[in-house]
């Protein structure tokens, strides 16, 4: 009797060093897993819109959003994370594990040991689970009350312009909203000044959301292109 083969678990490797990223992904693929890489947290968020991931390997020394911030954000949403970093001092190890990392590997790590660690965590967590931040309980917009409701059911009241901005982002269902589309939604065609106002408004909304809900607003900037709301 033949049993159907299960699909290999998918691992995302968030590492800014291109050579290390390629080596780790290549080794994972040869080990029977399926791996894809991202050079930053921001790149990871965009790739995750079209890719599946069962576990994330994160370098702490990332450009842009820090690796530690990414670890915290993912683990708060129940995503399995392993740290692979050059930071071997005790303080960093403790911080990484306290942030929610399941294991902490210091470069240059033995890749066979890394694979064993990944497989161990996948067995523990259940390798069929797909890790997309915010998937289980999405953010939602209550248009009747002009409030944004977080996954923990806490809400933040929105001004008219904040509501217009958030509604245009959520309507994209996790897709990229270009600068031009955002400006159109906000009723302006002045690219430079208009997008500067949107960025300022978004900064204020991030603070409001964190204060009101205890969760960070899941809006990611894609450099030079626009914004993404991770549902």
Structure letter (DSSP) for residue 224: T
Which residue ranges does the chain devote to CATH 3.40.50.2300? Answer: 10-125
pLDDT at 8 over 90: no
- pLDDT at residue 4 greater than cutoff 80: no
Q: How many angstroms separate the CA atoms of 53 and 44, rounded?
A: 11
CA distance 218 to 140: 12
- Where do we find the tokens 């901005």? 165
What is the CATH topology of the domain spanning 140-229? Arc Repressor Mutant, subunit A (1.10.10)
Task: Summarize pLDDT for 107-145 with one digit per residue, the tens.
Answer: 888 999 999 989 988 887 653 444 444 344 578 888 778
List where CATH 1.10.10.10 sits in the chain. Answer: 140-229
Q: Which CATH architecture has domain 10-125?
A: 3-Layer(aba) Sandwich (3.40)
- Asked whether residue 154 carries a pLDDT value surpassing 50, the answer given is yes
Say if residue 220 is exposed, middle or buried (CB neighbours under 10 Å; 0-12, 13-18, 19+): buried
Q: What is the model's pLDDT at position 23? A: 95
Mean pLDDT to the nearest integer, 23-27: 95
Q: pTM for the complete prediction?
A: 0.56
Structure confidence by residue, pLDDT tens digits, 173-211: 778 888 888 888 777 666 666 677 888 888 889 888 888
User: In the prediction, which pLDDT does 132 show?
Assistant: 45
Q: Report whether pLDDT(20) > 90.
A: yes
């Amino acid at each position: 009797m033949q049993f159907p083969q299960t699909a290999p678990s998918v691992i995302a490797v968030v590492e800014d060093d291109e050579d290390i990223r390629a080596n780790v992904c290549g080794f994972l693929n040869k080990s029977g897993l399926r791996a894809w890489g991202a050079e930053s947290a921001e790149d990871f968020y965009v790739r995750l819109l079209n890719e599946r991931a069962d576990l994330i390997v994160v370098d702490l020394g990332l450009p842009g959003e820090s690796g530690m911030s990414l670890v915290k954000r993912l683990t708060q949403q129940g995503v399995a994370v392993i740290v692979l970093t050059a930071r071997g001092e005790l303080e960093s190890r403790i911080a990484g594990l306290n942030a929610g990392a399941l294991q902490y590997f210091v470069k240059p790590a033995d890749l066979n040991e890394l694979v064993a660690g990944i497989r161990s965590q996948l067995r523990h967590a259940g390798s069929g689970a797909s890790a997309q931040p915010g998937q289980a309980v999405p953010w939602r917009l209550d248009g009747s009350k002009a409030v944004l409701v977080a996954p923990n059911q806490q809400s933040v009241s929105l001004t008219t312009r904040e509501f217009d901005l958030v509604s245009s982002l959520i309507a994209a269902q996790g897709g990229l909203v270009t600068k031009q589309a955002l400006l159109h939604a906000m009723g302006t065609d002045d690219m430079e000044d208009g997008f500067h106002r949107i960025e300022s408004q978004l900064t204020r909304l991030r603070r409001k959301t964190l204060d009101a809900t205890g969760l960070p607003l899941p809006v990611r900037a894609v450099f030079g292109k626009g914004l993404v709301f991770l549902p």
